């Protein structure tokens, strides 16, 4: 059930950003600088960070490994500007596939994370629940942004 909810929100995020031009992907609403392109790119990083780095203990992969996070804490969002939906989607789907592979290779959801900077190791179950919360929150943001672009609503 956790995996199904996570996959549902992954799909919702991509549906919100699909079929838009680069200009529309980078449109903002109200006083926010948040865009659909930035949300998809951010969640690509979040997938790799929680599943690859924190859970599996793998080193950060590119493009995250060489990013200058000290100079730009929102590097993944800053670099989303101008990216096409096709490019955003490919990177996002690859990250999600890596995440799914970690989950399917793990015998128990209670398996503790082996990497990251966690002072108290978290379990795979905790990561899955956290990811569902993260997607739910950002899909809400995506709802507002998409509706402001072309009045499209719903998941």
Residue 130: which CATH number?
1.20.120.450
- Decide if pLDDT at 80 tops 90: yes
How many domains does one find in the chain?
1
pLDDT band for 117, please (50, 70, 90 cuts).
confident
Q: How far apart are CA 35 and CA 134, in angstroms?
A: 16
Query: Please, how many CA atoms are within 13 Å of residue 86, restricted to the half-sphere of its CB?
Result: 0
Residue of 113, 127, 124, 141 lying closest to 34 (CA atoms): 141
Q: Point out the least confidently predicted range of 4-8, 70-74, 151-155.
A: 151-155
- Predicted local distance difference test score (pLDDT) of residue 2: 86
Q: Is residue 155 part of a domain?
A: no
Q: Is residue 120 part of a domain?
A: yes
Q: By residue range, what is the domain housing residue 88? A: 2-150
């Amino acid at each position: 059930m956790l995996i199904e909810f996570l996959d549902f929100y992954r799909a919702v995020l991509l549906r919100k950003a699909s079929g838009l031009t680069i200009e529309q992907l980078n449109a903002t609403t109200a006083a926010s600088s948040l865009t659909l392109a930035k949300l998809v790119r951010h969640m690509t990083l979040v997938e790799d960070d929680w599943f690859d780095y924190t859970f599996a203990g793998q080193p950060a992969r590119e493009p995250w490994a060489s990013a200058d996070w000290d100079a730009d804490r929102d590097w993944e969002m800053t670099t989303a500007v101008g990216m096409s939906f096709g490019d955003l989607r490919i990177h996002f789907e690859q990250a999600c596939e890596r995440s799914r592979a970690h989950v399917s290779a793990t015998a128990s959801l209670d398996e503790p994370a082996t990497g990251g900077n966690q002072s108290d190791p978290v379990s795979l179950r905790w990561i899955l629940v956290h990811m569902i919360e993260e997607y739910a929150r950002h899909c809400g943001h995506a709802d507002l942004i998409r509706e402001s672009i072309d009045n499209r609503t719903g998941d």
